[in-house]
Amino acid sequence: MRITALPLAATAMAALPLLSACTSVEDDTEIAPTAFDPPVRIVGEGQNCIPRSQIRQTRVRNDQVIDFEMRGGDVYRNVLASSCPRLGFEEAFTYNTTINQLCSVEIIYVLEQIGGQVRRGAGCSLGEFVPVKYVEEEDD
């Protein structure tokens, strides 16, 4: 059997269609927190971190949005960097941090229930924590 080596340029050109088929298309446009249900109004500047001890509950809205409801009534909407598989279906996630803050650099993991067992699923990057108010709760 004879193996023929292709010149480097030819090898790179041959691999180009394969690479473009595997790469994801990045969209530089950020999705606004107001683009999702339930309707919200932004009430302040986004934050990189929120105190974990102040999180009262979380509400998974879909595969890309989580509302963090805090003690005292504040709500922070987090639009994940990209869609997180099964997050909207399972509505449960976990994370691991060593500080008392949950920050946008953290990775959350979907908690999946399969055959009566809970296991860690897809890992997804958090986005910025944007303070919002639910529109239906306003008295205007």
Give the single-character DSSP code of 86.
T
Instruction: Give 23-71 pLDDT, tens digit per residue.
Output: 334 444 567 888 888 999 999 999 999 999 999 999 999 999 999 999 9
Number of domains in the chain: 1
Residue ranges making up the domain that contains 53: 38-137
> What is the rounded CA–CA span in Å between residue 126 and residue 76?
12
> Which among 37, 79, 33, 76 has a CA at the least distance from the CA of 55?
76
Measured CA distances, 49 to 30, 68, 120 (Å): 18, 12, 23
Give the single-character DSSP code of 29.
P
**Residue 113 domain-assigned?**
yes
Instruction: Give 6-16 pLDDT, tens digit per residue.
Output: 444 443 444 44
> What is the rounded CA–CA span in Å between residue 50 and residue 100?
9
**Residue 12 domain-assigned?**
no
**Residue 8 domain-assigned?**
no
**Residue 107 domain-assigned?**
yes
Instruction: Give 106-126 pLDDT, tens digit per residue.
Output: 999 999 998 889 999 999 999
Higher-confidence residue of 19 and 59: namely 59
What is the Cα Rg of the chain in Å?
A: 21
